[in-house]
């Protein structure tokens, strides 16, 4: 079962490893235990640090997705076409 091998055919193992590491790092940054009991500083004078951190985290998530789209987009799917004739298996008679 290789999720990574389904990213983009021919993608180098090192690149897949680095991207996996990046996703894992961003996921782990969500658990910001260091902010757990802190209220200050108030970012922009009114946003408690715990809330400001996670607002920033949302921006980080968007950046991560932009990186994935840029370097790991499954281009092969763009070329996918319906088969002729289609296998309309979802409508076939049940047994």
Partner 1 sequence: MIPVIVVSIYLVIIAIIGSVAFRKTQANTEDFFLANRTVGSMVFFLSLFATNMTAFAILGSSGQAYRQGIGIYGLMASSSGLVIPLTIFFIGTRLWSLGKRFGHQTQVAFFRDRWECCTIGTVIFSLSVIMLVPYMIISIMGGGRVLTDISGGRVAYSLGCAIVAMVVTSNVFFGGMRGTVWVNIFQTVLFLLFGAVAVAVISHALPGGFGDYIRKIASNPKTSYLLTRERMPERYFWSYTLIPLSSIMFPHMAIMCFAARKVTAFKRTVVLYPLAIMAIWLPCIFLGVLGTQLEPGLKNPDGILLHLLTDHAPVWLAGILGAGIISAVMGSDTHQVLAISTMFTKDVFAYYGGKEKYGERGSVLFARGFIIVVTMIAYLIALVTPESIFELAVRFAFSGFAAMSPVMIAALFWKRSTKHGALASTLWVAAWLALTWYVQRASDGIAPKPGQPPVVVFSALGHFFERSTANVTVYGFLPVVPMVLGSAALMVLVSLMTPAPSRATIEKYFPSRSDSEGSRENSHLAPGTRTAAPLHQPSS
Q: Which residues bind partner 1 (CB under 8 A)?
A: 1-3, 5-9, 23, 26-27, 30-33, 35-40, 42, 45-48, 50-51, 53-55, 57-59, 61-62, 64-66, 68-69, 73-95
Q: Least distance (Å) from partner 1 to the CB of residue 14?
A: 18
Please return the burial class of 41, using the count of CB atoms within 10 Å of its CB with bins 0-12, 13-18 and 19+. Answer: exposed
Give the span between the Cα atoms of 42 and 53, in whole angstroms: 11
Cβ atoms < 10 Å from Cβ of 72: 16
Rank residues 14 and 83 by Cβ distance to partner 1 and give the closer one: 83
Q: Least distance (Å) from partner 1 to the CB of residue 56?
A: 9
Q: Which two tokens stand for residue 57?
A: 């985290």
Q: Least distance (Å) from partner 1 to the CB of residue 12?
A: 14
């Amino acid at each position: 079962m290789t999720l990574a091998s389904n990213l983009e055919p021919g993608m180098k193992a090192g690149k897949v490893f680095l991207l996996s590491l990046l996703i894992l790092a961003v996921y782990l940054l969500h658990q910001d235990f260091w902010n757990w009991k802190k209220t200050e500083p108030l970012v922009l004078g009114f946003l408690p640090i715990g809330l400001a951190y996670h607002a920033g985290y949302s921006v980080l998530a968007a950046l991560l997705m932009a990186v994935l789209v840029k370097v790991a987009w499954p281009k092969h799917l763009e070329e996918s076409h319906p088969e002729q004739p289609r296998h309309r298996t979802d409508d076939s008679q049940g047994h």
